[in-house]
Amino acid sequence: MKLYTVKTPKLVKSLFPKLVWEFSVTSKIIYLTFDDGPIPEVTPWVLQQLSKYNAKATFFCIGDNVEKHPEIFNQLISEGHSIGNHTQHHVNAWKVSNDQYILDSIHCNETFKNALNSSKNTTTKLFRPPYGKITPHLVKKLRELDYKIIMWNVLSGDFDTALSPEKCLANVIEHTETGSIVVFHDSLKAQKKIRYALPKVLAHFSNKGYTFKSIPM
């Protein structure tokens, strides 16, 4: 079992107050986010599920996957979803130098630009650190590059190989509320759990009058 918390503790949020953990909204809005794509085995299916509820989401893409699957990347944008930088190679901020981390993030941004259809002029300033790992120094450097660092307050746990699909669903149902930023992964590792949980999450909260919106880029 991996060590993580489903609901982000207030202490953690207080240590990094310049990061976005949730949104203060008065209407019933939820912000679904998907990390680690795009990949053909999962991402198009996620888009199909979202479209059934006219739901918009935010996809934090790995640059290397965007290079391999630019058509899916462009589909995300054409269907009205937001995109965010998740570094070029999904690097761990605690295991590489600060310079290497920033260069990898810039590389990802350039990959996005190169992958976009020529008719589009889309840029993003959304960034999510892989593994949720970041340092105060890197926060400062990324903010100097005008990035808005998006974290979360609900972690589905779909990446956890020891977690059942049912528990993944319960994690989201039990902890999500108005303004929550929820993390799923459109990845091979997570696909069994996301295929079980995502349709049920969309149905559950839609029936309760919630809408799903993307984070403005």
Q: Please report the domains of the chain, with CATH numbers, ordered by start residue.
A: 10-212 (3.20.20.370)
Catalytic residue among 69, 104, 185, 186: 185
104 as an active site residue: the answer is no
The whole-angstrom separation of Cα 91 and Cα 63 is: 11
Query: pLDDT digit string (tens) for 15-43?
Result: 999 999 999 999 999 999 999 999 999 99
pLDDT value of residue 3: 74
Q: What confidence tier does 123 reach under pLDDT thresholds 50, 70, 90?
A: confident
Over residues 163-187, the mean pLDDT reads 98
pLDDT value of residue 122: 73
- Torsion over CA of 181, 28, 200 and 4, rounded to 10 degrees? 30
Q: What confidence tier does 2 reach under pLDDT thresholds 50, 70, 90?
A: low
Catalytic residue among 35, 104, 158, 160: 35
Please state the separation of Cα 10 from the chain's center in Å: 20
Residue pair 168/193 in contact (Cβ under 8 Å)? The answer is yes
Q: What's the whole-model pTM score?
A: 0.96
